Chain A
Amino acid sequence: MDLFGHLFLGFGVVLSPENLLFCFVGALVGTLIGVLPGIGPAATVAMLLPATFYLPPISALIMLSGIYYGALYGGSTTSILLNLPGESASIVTCIDGYQMAKRGRAGAALAVAALGSFFAGTVCTLLIAIASPPLARLALSFGSAEYFMLMVFGLVGAVVLAQGSVIKAVGMVLLGLSLGLVGTDIYSGEERYTFGLTILSDGIGFVPIALGMFGMAEVIGNLERRQVKGDAIVKIGKLWPTMQEFREAWPAVLRGTALGAVLGVLPGGGALLSSFASYAAEKKLSKEPWRFGKGAIQGLAGPESANNAGAQTSFIPMLTLGIPSNGMMALLIGALIIQGIAPGPRMMTSQPELFWGIIASMWIGNLMLLVINLPLIGIWIQLLRVPYRLLFPCIVLLCAIGGFSLNNLTFEVGIIAVFGFFGYIVRKMGCEAAPLALGLILGPMMEENLRRTLLLSRGDPTVFIQRPISGVLLAATVALLLLIILPNVRKTREVAFRED
């Protein structure tokens, strides 16, 4: 009964004309950038962060979340029709989706992808609504020791499960944590690394760094290649899957949803990991593994459901604990902080409209996406014809204005330039921006909690073991670290991200 009361409250919030509009805008923009290769959801959300300053918090969050899952829908469209992933979580969709399209089943592939995503979105919205209150209640009993260990666990998990080199991810996290130190130390009032600049005494802004590392670095990276082009666009054909396709697809949708829902909650998890894991699982479970790569519908239905499920459930730690599990969630927490809302377990009780509104908006948004994507697919394909040479100068201008608008300071635009430069250089060295964003968001919170814990325990570090929840988290962190050292786990991890 409680659940329905909460969902009722949430739907009441979303169904206001204004919020419906922002939900639609988010879903639409998400689809748009999902279709366009060369601009990802993280860069878009970073670009729109300053604009959300002018919106009420709930509308801002509804719109930004819409961009995240909207991009997954849009990304699968280009994967299927052009063999071109519009977005990294759709890479595996290319494998079997495009093959299906080449056999004349493009319409069915699009329908299965959209319906599978919608199913996963519905299940996971319910899951978030059921799982969040007990988690938030548990988190309310957390002291600073538990919080600190939880953040350490989150960071370590994000590093272990992230794509690419572990050492580099650790380095980027440390760099993010160090950048988070800039500004006035809350305990002593001493200014750290401000070099006498008053502008820096509140710290380096998260938004300009995100705009530089995600937005500008991505633009520069795209300009390396002359032109992004996919294979020839295939005819869409009939939209409705056949009975046999339907029968083959639905168990994969169920498995993908379950797998994605679990992997999404883990730190470092989310859409990308879920889609890769689901493809590997479907291939292993199939009685006819040779069909994979030649247009097996399970290889499309599983990952498509999984990436949407993973995207949805990665909201759970963000909403209930205030801890981001991936780069995207770090950006959404940034949006909350801009609005002056402290993310954490108290959000559910102090801002119930916001909390339940976001959850309800996900279901509405998924429903909108189904409509946006299936009948309107032709329009999105047309968009691919906008040349990048005209698109990117506009992105640069929007980033510059966005950077300025946060505090009305031209200085922040300079910071975007510095981090765009730095972001591109570290990309070339194989380092990802997401771990840095996580470190930057968590750094100040971690320092505060660590110092408070040790102050309360009179400098006794065993407090982290003595408090049971903190001890369990510490053990889990150590276990994660040990896992990554084990050679066969390392191998599995590499395989999971490199699917042929």
Chain B
Amino acid sequence: MRVRLQLNQDVAAGMTFGACGAFFLWFGRNYEVGSALRMGPGYLPMLLGWLLVVIGGVLTGKGVVVGGERIGGWAVRPLLLVCGALFLFSWMLDSGGLVLTGTTAMLLAAAGGPEFKAREQVVLSITMSILAAMLFVTTLGLPMRIWPAFLGN
């Protein structure tokens, strides 16, 4: 049997679980573990962290030895633009207000879509943002700024 190293689904998932386990173990290393009788705050984090590492190891091993399905067809552009739009919203809302922030975020996300027609997306995002401001801020009273801070209101 030949062992071929390829990044299939199982190997990738296994390494992800392992990395997450290592993350929880490392950042939880200073919590007091205690004993089964008096569990400290660190008991379960350590247990879960190790279990994750073990599961990750088993899965990686299975992926290397048995092989697994290939990972393919990453939607890199939608992934970055949709997540970017959310980050932008989170960063800009307090000063930019809902209308400007919503419009920008929607346009950014839309740029990750299948076909981007500038005019219809601009109309859609401005309309939706104003509607959202009317519904959520004016009617439901969500404490959000509607217009940008630099307009001085």
Q: Do A and B come from one complex?
A: yes
CB distance from A60 to the nearest CB of B (A): 14
Complex CA–CA separation, A177 to B48 (angstroms): 8
Q: Give a binary string over B92-110; 1 marks a CB under 8 Å from any A CB, 0 the rest.
A: 0110001000100111011
Q: Which residues of A contact B87 (CB under 8 A)?
A: 413-414, 417
> Is the beta-carbon distance between A431 and B27 smaller than 8 angstroms?
no
> Is the beta-carbon distance between A413 and B142 smaller than 8 angstroms?
no
A206 within 8 A of B: no
Q: Which residues of B contact A451 (CB under 8 A)?
A: 39
A315 within 8 A of B: no
A352 within 8 A of B: no
> Is the beta-carbon distance between A394 and B79 smaller than 8 angstroms?
no
B140 within 8 A of A: yes
Q: Which residues of B contact A223 (CB under 8 A)?
A: 75, 78, 82, 112-114
> Is the beta-carbon distance between A171 and B83 smaller than 8 angstroms?
no
> Is the beta-carbon distance between B41 and A389 smaller than 8 angstroms?
no
Question: Which residues of chain A from 188 to 229 have any CB-CB distance to chain B below 8 Å in the complex?
Answer: 188, 190, 192-193, 195, 216, 219-221, 223-224, 226-227
Q: Give a binary string over B78-89; 1 marks a CB under 8 Å from any A CB, 0 the rest.
A: 110011111101
Question: Which residues of chain B from 12 to 62 have any CB-CB distance to chain A below 8 Å in the complex?
Answer: 12-13, 16-17, 20-21, 24, 27-28, 31-32, 35-41, 44-45, 48-49, 51-52, 55-56, 58-59, 62
> Is the beta-carbon distance between A192 and B28 smaller than 8 angstroms?
yes
> Is the beta-carbon distance between A393 and B13 smaller than 8 angstroms?
no
A421 within 8 A of B: yes
> Knowing A185-B41, A219-B82, A413-B90 touch, does A431 contact B105 (C-beta < 8 A)?
no
> Is the beta-carbon distance between A175 and B142 smaller than 8 angstroms?
no
Return the contact of B140 from the options A54, A168, A226, A388 (Cβ within 8 A): A54
B144 within 8 A of A: yes
Q: Which residues of A contact B132 (CB under 8 A)?
A: 397-398, 401
Q: Give a binary string over A401-424; 1 marks a CB under 8 Å from any B CB, 0 the rest.
A: 100110010111110111011001
Q: Which residues of A contact B94 (CB under 8 A)?
A: 410
> Knowing A177-B48, A193-B28, A226-B114 touch, does A397 contact B79 (C-beta < 8 A)?
no
> Is the beta-carbon distance between B17 and A188 smaller than 8 angstroms?
no
> Is the beta-carbon distance between B41 and A190 smaller than 8 angstroms?
yes
B128 within 8 A of A: yes
> Knowing A396-B106, A454-B37 touch, does A175 contact B17 (C-beta < 8 A)?
yes
Complex CA–CA separation, A227 to B90 (angstroms): 29
Complex CA–CA separation, A85 to B48 (angstroms): 37
> Is the beta-carbon distance between B128 and A394 smaller than 8 angstroms?
yes
Q: Which residues of B contact A399 (CB under 8 A)?
A: 86
Complex CA–CA separation, A413 to B113 (angstroms): 21
A187 within 8 A of B: yes
CB distance from A98 to the nearest CB of B (A): 25
> Knowing A401-B136, A421-B79, A421-B83 touch, does A426 contact B16 (C-beta < 8 A)?
yes
A482 within 8 A of B: no
A240 within 8 A of B: no
Question: Which residue of A411, A413, A424, A431 has the most chain B CB atoms within 10 A of its CB atom?
Answer: A413
> Chain B: interface secondary structure?
helix
Q: Which residues of A contact B68 (CB under 8 A)?
A: 430
> Is the beta-carbon distance between B37 and A397 smaller than 8 angstroms?
no
A250 within 8 A of B: no
Q: Which residues of A contact B149 (CB under 8 A)?
A: none
Return the contact of A396 from the options B40, B45, B82, B93 (Cβ within 8 A): B82
**Residue in A closest to B11 when the chains form the complex, CB atoms:** A429
Q: Which of A118-126, A331-339, A455-463, A469-477 has 4 or more CB atoms under 8 Å from chain B? A: A455-463
> Knowing A167-B58, A223-B112, A392-B109 touch, does A405 contact B136 (C-beta < 8 A)?
yes
CB distance from B18 to the nearest CB of A (A): 9
A178 within 8 A of B: yes
CB distance from B62 to the nearest CB of A (A): 7
Return the contact of B85 from the options A181, A396, A408 (Cβ within 8 A): A396
A174 within 8 A of B: yes
A428 within 8 A of B: yes
A285 within 8 A of B: no
Complex CA–CA separation, A398 to B128 (angstroms): 10
> Is the beta-carbon distance between A429 and B136 smaller than 8 angstroms?
no
A376 within 8 A of B: no
CB distance from A446 to the nearest CB of B (A): 9
> Is the beta-carbon distance between B73 and A224 smaller than 8 angstroms?
yes
Complex CA–CA separation, A470 to B69 (angstroms): 39
Complex CA–CA separation, A295 to B44 (angstroms): 53
Complex CA–CA separation, A128 to B5 (angstroms): 52
A245 within 8 A of B: no
Question: Which residues of chain A from 160 to 182 have any CB-CB distance to chain B below 8 Å in the complex?
Answer: 165, 167-168, 170-171, 174-175, 177-178, 181
Complex CA–CA separation, A447 to B40 (angstroms): 11
CB distance from A229 to the nearest CB of B (A): 12
> Is the beta-carbon distance between A393 and B121 smaller than 8 angstroms?
yes
Q: Which residues of A contact B13 (CB under 8 A)?
A: 168, 171, 426, 429-431
Q: Which residues of A contact B38 (CB under 8 A)?
A: 455, 459
Complex CA–CA separation, A400 to B136 (angstroms): 12
Complex CA–CA separation, A178 to B128 (angstroms): 37
> Is the beta-carbon distance between A417 and B86 smaller than 8 angstroms?
yes
A232 within 8 A of B: no
> Is the beta-carbon distance between A224 and B129 smaller than 8 angstroms?
no
CB distance from B14 to the nearest CB of A (A): 8
CB distance from A418 to the nearest CB of B (A): 8
Q: Which residues of A contact B58 (CB under 8 A)?
A: 167
Pairs A–B under 8 Å by Cβ, sample size 23: A174-B17, A175-B52, A181-B45, A188-B40, A220-B75, A226-B114, A389-B110, A389-B115, A392-B113, A393-B109, A396-B82, A398-B132, A399-B86, A401-B132, A408-B143, A413-B87, A417-B83, A417-B84, A424-B79, A426-B16, A454-B36, A455-B37, A459-B38
Q: Kindly list the 6 A-B residue pairs having the minimum CB-CB distance in the complex, ordered from nearest.
A: A459-B37, A417-B86, A223-B78, A413-B90, A429-B13, A185-B41
- With A167-B59, A220-B75, A430-B9 already in contact, 5 other A-B pairs whose C-beta atoms are closer than 8 Å: A193-B45, A223-B114, A400-B90, A417-B84, A429-B10
